[in-house]
Amino acid sequence: METISKKLERCLLCESRELRLAVPLEPMPILTPNFELAPELASDPRVVDGVPLDLWLCEACGHVQVGEVGNPDLQYRNYVYTTSLSLGLREHFSRYCDATLAHLEPPPGSLVVEIGSNDGTLLEFFRARGMRVLGLDPATQIARDATAAGIETLPEFFSAALARQVRESHGPAAIVIANNVIANVPDMGDFTEGVAALLAGDGVFVFETQYGADVIEHCLLDTVYHEHISYFFIDPLQQHLLRHGLELADVERIATKGGSFRATAIRRESSRPRGNAVAQLIADERRKGCRSMAYFDQLNHAIAVLRDELRSLVDADRNRGHAVGGYGVSVGTTALLPQFGVIKDIEFLVDDDPKKPSHMRGADYSIPVIGPAALAARAPATVVVFAWRYAEPIIAKHRQFLERGGRFVVPFPGLRVVDLQSAARPESAEAPGVTT
């Protein structure tokens, strides 16, 4: 294996070198539960070493990105996460398909291409509604399985060169889709050129991605990791698209991942209508000063407060000789463990998926993973719910643990402690979201 990661020296949107450290974060491993390595690669200590995760602000255009990016072949050729694993995602995609077709009204038989199509779940809905579909995804096995299931999927990274090949073999695309993909792209210039090359004259690029403002303002730490290279704000994104012959026509805020947006981009010369939301969001970002250090300091402060609160709870248990566990084995857990400063204190992790690895590994830790049935027997005093978006069903499933005196600590959207007494008092809670 040549490299595990590389440092980003330029802004991914405008290529400026004017990058300034905005949010210093603790390093985390490149290896996460999202992908599975062959034994010879998994034994390489470099895959569990901490890699810098700091967030950098481009002072030229306002884009936010991580300072170091993982090797794409290492991560995405070995990807094992599939769309069907996420609670509620099929329903979300069904509504997504209906809304997209109702708004864009493509003729029957139009080509829909999805970049990062995974197991083809979304494309299934478009095909059922009379569209021709094609998936593009570098995860070799997932692409192979999707094709076998009837959704043609090319096992390739998207690029301008591939876009031209697809246009030649399949024709221009009426709709190009990328769901939670553009944040993972290490060469946004080539990517955007590819979208422009693939789109039909009146075609539309529809994509969802995390909204940088929500990450910063709501402390969405579990979405900050090396696969997510970019944290998009509308202002710099619009300027980037304009440089490549496209423009944002509309943007809709959505709840996915705790705060995202769904955007439509079109050719600059397209006759399709433009909405007011793009200009409104750009004005809002400028009003809030999203390019100032003061804006990012709110996240730095929130992280420090959350870390101190959690450390206080964990220290109290440890000082009394009580065990502390965690719930959830995911890329989000891999990201949160070092930021919370509790790696050495979590004795085990619980996960409902029996296919999860037996241990979560880092440079100086290897935490055992157990099934939910074993939680009560282990009898920890506290369980930190790293899978916080699913806190309510997790807590409801483990009432016996609460009855034996245990408590859950849910870190987001504001740290709260749930014991038997508090669990009996209904509180308004965020509905489980869909995560990747």
* 187-220 residue pLDDT tens: 999 999 999 999 999 999 999 999 999 999 999 9
Amino acid at 242: L
pLDDT tens digits along 143-166: 999 999 999 999 999 999 999 999
* Cβ within 8 Å of residue 371, ≥6 positions away: 350, 351, 352, 354
Counting every residue written for the chain, the total comes to 436
Domain carrying residue 417: 309-423
Structural domain includes residue 52: no
The string of pLDDT tens digits covering residues 341-375 is 999 999 999 999 888 889 998 888 999 999 999 99
What is the mean pLDDT of the segment spanning 98-109?
93
Supply the CATH number for residue 381's domain.
3.40.50.720
3-state DSSP call for residue 199?
Answer: strand
48 belongs to a structural domain: no
Residues 324 and 270 in one domain: no
Domain co-membership, 136 together with 233: yes
Global pTM value:
0.91
Read off the pLDDT of residues 6-20 as tens digits, 9 standing for 90 and up.
999 999 999 999 999
Q: Is residue 382 part of a domain?
A: yes
Same domain, 157 and 261: yes
Residue 40 lies in a domain: no
Average pLDDT, the chain: 91
45, HSE (Cβ side, Cα atoms, 13 Å)? 3
Q: Does residue 391 sit within a domain?
A: yes
Domain endpoint, select from 239, 265, 291: 291
Q: Is residue 259 part of a domain?
A: yes
> Measured between alpha carbons, how far is 234 from 126 in angstroms, rounded to an integer?
27
Tokens 């245990």, residue? 406
Please state the domain count of the chain.
Answer: 2
Q: What CA–CA distances, in Å, run from 376 to 223, 399, 407, 418?
A: 29, 10, 11, 16
CA pair distance 253, 72, nearest whole angstrom: 29
Q: Which of the listed residues 239, 258, 291 is the one where a domain comes to its end?
A: 291
In contact, 89 and 118? CB cutoff 8 Å: no
Q: Which of 291, 325, 343 is the last residue of a domain?
A: 291
